[in-house]
Chain A
Amino acid sequence: MLETLASAPVLPSTRRTLLDARDLHAWYGESHILHGMTFTIPEGEVVTLLGRNGAGKTTTMRSIMGLLRKREGSLVYDGTETVGLPPNRIARLGIGYVPEERGIFASLNVRENLELPPVVKPGGLTTAEVYELFPRLLERKGSQGTKLSGGEQQMLAIARILRTGAKLLLLDEPTEGLAPVIVQQIGEIIRTLRAKGFTVLLVEQNFRFAATVADRHYVVEHGRVVDAILNEDVPANTAKLQEYLGV
């Protein structure tokens, strides 16, 4: 245990730590998936988890939200230990979640999907501001949620957690399977969110895209953080990243 801690790569930051994950272990039933994830998310940054398929990126997101029955280690959000809290309490601390499969509700229309997550903290965007950021959702607000295109559903999944006052946004592969134009738009949105003061934890397979939006990157392998790279060091580490990601 101490060994994992000691070997966890650390990067300097002048900002306050918003989320501090230490030696996080998680299980799906009997399978032990996370083997001591250690990383920090400084407030106001866009931080990515990079890694191959099955590395444990989604599991890390779900662990942060408390969606796995069995977790061990420590996950301190804004001074509060969250291991042991149920998902609803964790969300109310100010964490918004966009799952990998987007989680748009078929029995809700676009407006209902957008307004579903309750406001958990003051200071979120107003519904009008959200529609300004995503005009397409206003045009389609009466449609069934799952009738939207993939890109629109992704926008909706992001849009709905901006109203809640959550400060930390967990985005699990928001660009997966989307056309290059849409990927660009999502990159634009992430930069806008950063400028508005949101903190983002982004899961990505595509580090070239990740490098256009992020401040720092953590490389995940077999349920551990094996490397940490500041965004300005990405060009110098391209070969290493390609090796990690198998691209």
Chain B
Amino acid sequence: MFELIGIPPQALFGQLMLGLINGAFYALLSLGLAVIFGLLNVINFTHGAQYMMGAFVAWMLLNWVGVPYWGALIIAPVLVGAFGIVLERLFLSRLYHLDHLYGLLLTFGLALILEGLFRSQFGSSGLPYGNPLPGGTNLGFMFLPWYRAWVVGFSLFVCLATWFVIERTKLGSYLRAATERPDLVQAFGVNVPRMITLTYGFGVGLAALAGVLAAPAYQVSPTMGSNLIIIVFAVVVIGGMGSILGSVITGFGLGIVEGLTKVFYPEASATVIFVVMAIVLLVRPAGLFGTAK
């Protein structure tokens, strides 16, 4: 067996794969945040809680209703997205004419409430969710579990599909235009308030989708979102708020950076993303893919 700079390839590629998995979650979550921020100008702090809800809805569907993983993959994002739509109509829509800060405070408060509700209902220890794709294949240089391959491939597909819709379709042109000048797009006859509501629902649905994907990979627990969302905000800062492709590339890229750090300097793996964030903020305050306003 050959070694690479003193590291066995099994370990190297294994960590790279783990990095890609984390990257897939970063990408899905920061993509949703970017879409929401672009149109609503709201930094959606509830995003982590909505991710957690996605995982819990999948768990409930399986354990209470008997709907398996593959059904939950569609149903949970729709349900949680609909819940997001209700939140937007009831609360968020009243804050658009105010400073960003109000939206941030509201969504932060909502996240705490949701997390608390789930904790009191399910406890904080975490619930197991069976792997729908057990087993894997030996690639020679590493063992590839099927489920991990699925998460990375499917997340990449969802991210690229979202990018395609936003950048290359008519619907996406409404979204891009309304991100720049919502008033003018509405004065052309487009129902922009409805578009904003649906966009929020979609962004929340993306978070819930990530939650369903996470359920078999991690534990289903009330705090799973708040642990992740801090890193995701760092990813968003690094990529630049509001850039769609930027958030996807940065998400996967930082997952890989984190994985590699685990191989070469494990002590730093928990902080490397924040170090990158500090450097990016110093050198390019608008983020790698952002444009200064």
Question: Which residues of A are interface residues toward B (Cβ below 8 A)?
Answer: 65-67, 86-88, 90-92, 96-97, 99, 103, 105-108, 112, 115-118, 120, 161, 164
A108 touches B183 (CB 8 A): no
CB closest chain-B residue, reference A119: B189
Complex CA gap A115/B191 in Å reads 16
Say yes or no: B181 contacts A164, CB within 8 Å: no
Specify the main secondary structure of chain A where it touches its partner.
Answer: loop
A88 adjacent to B181 (CB under 8 Å): no
Closest 4 CB pairs of A and B: A91-B189, A117-B188, A107-B176, A87-B187
When distances are taken between beta carbons in the complex, the residues of chain A under 8 Å from B191 are 88
Q: With A67-B183, A99-B184, A103-B184 in contact, do A108 and B173 touch (Cβ < 8 Å)?
A: yes
Residues A164 and B176 in contact in the complex (CB < 8 Å), given A67-B183, A87-B183: no
Q: How far is the CA of A120 from the CA of B187 in the complex (A)?
A: 11
Please, what's the 1-or-0 string for B157-193, where 1 marks a CB less than 8 Å from any CB in chain A?
A: 0000000000000100110110111011111111111
Q: With A and B bound together, what is the CA distance between A116 and B184 in angstroms?
A: 11
> What are 25 contact pairs spanning A and B, CB under 8 A?
A67-B183, A86-B193, A87-B187, A88-B186, A88-B187, A88-B188, A88-B189, A88-B190, A88-B191, A88-B192, A90-B187, A91-B187, A97-B184, A97-B187, A99-B184, A103-B181, A105-B180, A105-B181, A107-B180, A108-B173, A116-B177, A116-B188, A117-B189, A118-B188, A118-B190
How many chain B residues touch A (CB < 8 A): the figure is 19
Of B174, B176, B187, most buried by chain A (CB within 10 Å of CB) is B187
Contact A92 B189 (CB under 8 A): yes
Whether the pair B188, A106 counts as a contact (CB closer than 8 A) is: no
Which chain A residue has the least Cβ–Cβ distance from B192?
A88
> 1/0 per residue B186-203: CB within 8 Å of A?
111111110000000000
Given known pairs A88-B192, A112-B173, A116-B174, the reply for A107 and B186 (CB within 8 Å) is no
B185 CB contact (under 8 Å) in A86, A116, A120, A161: A116
B residues sitting closer than 8 Å to A (CB atoms) are 170, 173-174, 176-177, 179-181, 183-193
Q: For the complex formed, measure the closest distance between the CB of A89 and the CB atoms of chain B, giving whole angstroms.
A: 8
Q: How far is the CB of B242 from chain A (nearest CB, A)?
A: 10
Most buried by B among A86, A88, A117: A88
B189 touches A118 (CB 8 A): yes
With known contacts A87-B186, A88-B190, A88-B192, A116–B173 Cβ distance under 8 A: yes
Give complex CA distance A88, B189 in Å: 4
Q: Which chain A residue has the least Cβ–Cβ distance from B175?
A: A107
Question: In the complex, what distance in Å separates the CA atom of A103 from the CA atom of B179?
Answer: 13
Are A107 and B177 in touch, CB under 8 angstroms?
yes
- 18 A-B pairs besides A91-B188, A107-B177, A107-B179 with CB distance below 8 A are A66-B187, A67-B187, A87-B183, A87-B187, A88-B186, A88-B188, A88-B189, A92-B189, A96-B188, A97-B187, A103-B181, A108-B173, A112-B173, A116-B177, A116-B185, A117-B189, A118-B189, A118-B190
